[in-house]
Amino acid sequence: MTEEAPAPLLKLRNIRKSFGDLEVLKGIDLDVAKGEVVSIIGASGSGKSTFLRSINAIEPADGGTMDFDGQQFDFDRASGLYPTARQLQALRARIGMVFQSYNLWPHKTVLENVIHAPMNVLGQSRAEATEVAGALLDRIGLYDKKDSSPQRLSGGQQQRVAIARALAMKPRLMLFDEVTSALDPELVHEVLMLMASLAKEGMTMLLVTHEMSFARDVSSRVLFFDRGVIGEEGAPSKVLRDPESPRLRQFLHSILHDDLSQAGAGKGLIQ
């Protein structure tokens, strides 16, 4: 008797989002298994970042359904099943998200940035939150900076702290929205290596990225977003090296050569 495949950690059906008359997401379907790393590529304005923000409901969808970790969400306001503010807050607590801008509190120390949410959202004691934060900061090589202001750190260091802050919430899913795009090229490597180590440990991840080598070497799948829909998806070797659609070929032609020649992501970053 054949065993049934486990249910996906994340299941999205017909996810739609508009801003006024502009329809940004036009009905996205996606299943993500536990431990998958899904990279999302596409031109600016194709809906990539809005899609990530809809998953953890920073920008709640205008329609469609989502099953996440056994819980169902219906984003059709006419259905009478639209999630409450408390349900959305609980959802965000289980989905970590890291942005292009680090969004660290400048008036708090590095340690205080990491322990704030576990204490105030998860209800951890200061001692428990500090123990977890200390281990995370040690892992990313910044324990000695725990009492520093984030403003005294490099961009790469601040982004690693932002990732540690998200991990401190013990998320089931991590979302990364172009987290290296604001960094100087020499700082990109340290952030990508941290993300690669999370992938090797089995963290389920969705990431919007222009780092094509990272997408190629680390991802389980690559999605190409095109004007609010998934224009093409598949294994990185297929999508990035043998694309079917003319629009994807055009997109890759415009960026792939430059990305693969970069010293960080493009010269065998992930072995």
- Using CA atoms of 236, 239, 240, 242 in order, give the dihedral in degrees to the nearest 10: 120
pLDDT band, very low/low/confident/very high, at 184 (cuts 50, 70, 90):
confident
- Mean pLDDT over residues 110-123, rounded? 96
- Mean pLDDT over residues 6-34, rounded? 95
Question: Do residues 210 and 41 make contact, with C-beta atoms less than 8 angstroms apart?
Answer: yes
Tell me what pLDDT residue 232 has: 96
Residue 264 has pLDDT above 50, yes or no: no
Tell me what pLDDT residue 258 has: 56
Question: Do residues 134 and 146 make contact, with C-beta atoms less than 8 angstroms apart?
Answer: yes
Encode pLDDT of 75-99 as tens digits: 998 888 889 999 999 999 999 999 9
pLDDT band, very low/low/confident/very high, at 4 (cuts 50, 70, 90):
low
d(CA 4, CA 17): 33
pTM check: above 0.95: no
pLDDT band, very low/low/confident/very high, at 259 (cuts 50, 70, 90):
low
Average predicted confidence (pLDDT) for the chain = 90
Tell me what pLDDT residue 78 has: 83
